[in-house]
A = this chain, B = another copy of it.
Amino acid sequence: MSPQQPAEPAAGRREPLVIDAHGHFTTTPPAHQRFRDEQLDRLARLAEDPSRPLPVPPEIGDDLLRESVEHHQLKVLRERGGDLMVFSPKASGMEHHVADRATARDWARQSNDLVARVTELFPDNFAGVCQLPQTPGGSLADSVAELRRCVETLGFVGCNLNPDPSGGHWTAPPLTDAYWFPLYEAMTELDVPAMVHVSSSCNPAFHTLGAHYLNADTSVFMQLLLGDLFDRFPTLRFVIPHGGGAVPYHWGRYRGLAARLNRPDPGEHLLRNVFFDTCVYHQPGVDLLLHVMGADHVLFASEMLGAVRGADPDTGIAWDDTKRYIDRAGLTPDEREKVFETNARRVYPRLDARLRAAGR
């Protein structure tokens, strides 16, 4: 398991396009957060001032927006040899636990509009994935409408789906429940996948970045193992981020549990529809992920600028420079191409179509 030398490009072979399947707009101009604060302030004072109007989204100029990614995600993407990032609103900022429907709708719309403008400013480097206006226990009608708007009008290629809109209290039914089907029907019709991604934890037992995110990944995989969701929705696709939570590390447990529970082997049952990203921030973890799950089921991703910042003092490698780990994982050229490019084009066909139209 000692780190290998980075792979050399094979002679005569085009280097794969490097598609980072998991990036969030964590560096929005401050006016965006001020708008959110106004929304929350209005809700907090609604009892004393019921006539207070919904806040109006701010005007944010192109220059400011350009700067907010050019010196951050885009700079890091280029420095690390990435070509394109699948880009969505800040995950911890989605805050689906705020139960007011109009607030959720306006917040998702404004967050998605900013992402859309980044994809227009840098069409070669960003493709949009949308935040849904979910609320705890609320109807998914607004989420379906926002998904349609983002895909059909803004050119987005997928969505982020929160399996726990309560923010750490886990009051929603499993993702195999009929509650979610209206969204799956729209996803299937539009042929877009969802990254299964929770937002901030309101539960002091779960740190958002160090527990809640990983627990969600783990929990959802087990929900899917117990159900037959993909019999009903054979083309539905989920990306489970953060290297699949605990799942690849415990792959024997999942296979053994499936056998004990009279469920099909998860390798057969789920991996046509479920993919893992590479947001695992050290070499042994990425090695295990690729070795156990196989290159067909893994999408390159870094989540930068995300949970971790800075570099491992022992190696000098930035924690989330996951391309470095993949380059040293001993993949064949075919496997590299799958992980960096073709899996993402397969899971996000609307991204593939856009790339083809641009001759890439």
Contact = CB atoms under 8 A, between A and B. Distances in A.
Contact of A218 (B1, B215, B253): B215
A180 interface: no
Report which residue of A174, A207, A307, A320 has the largest number of chain B beta carbons within 10 angstroms of its beta carbon.
A207
Nearest to A309: B260
A308 B260 contact: yes
Interface residues of A, number: 57
Interface stretch (A153-161, A240-248, A350-358): A240-248
Contacts of A255: 281-282, 312, 319
Contacts of A207: 219, 222-223, 226
Interface string A198-223: 00000111110111001100110011
Interface stretch (A114-122, A188-196, A285-293): A285-293
A127 interface: no
A81 to B, nearest CB: 19
Interface string A254-273: 11110110000000000000
Contact of A248 (B1, B203, B249, B254): B249
A163 interface: yes
A173 B205 CA distance: 6
A312 B291 CA distance: 17
Contacts of A254: 210
Given A280-B252, A280-B253, A319-B256, A174 B205 contact: yes
Interface in A149-173: 163-164, 168-170, 172-173
A181 interface: no
Contacts of A50: none
Interface of A: 1, 163-164, 168-170, 172-174, 203-207, 209-211, 214-215, 218-219, 222-223, 225-226, 242-243, 245-246, 248-257, 259-260, 280-282, 284-285, 287-288, 291-292, 307-310, 312, 319-320
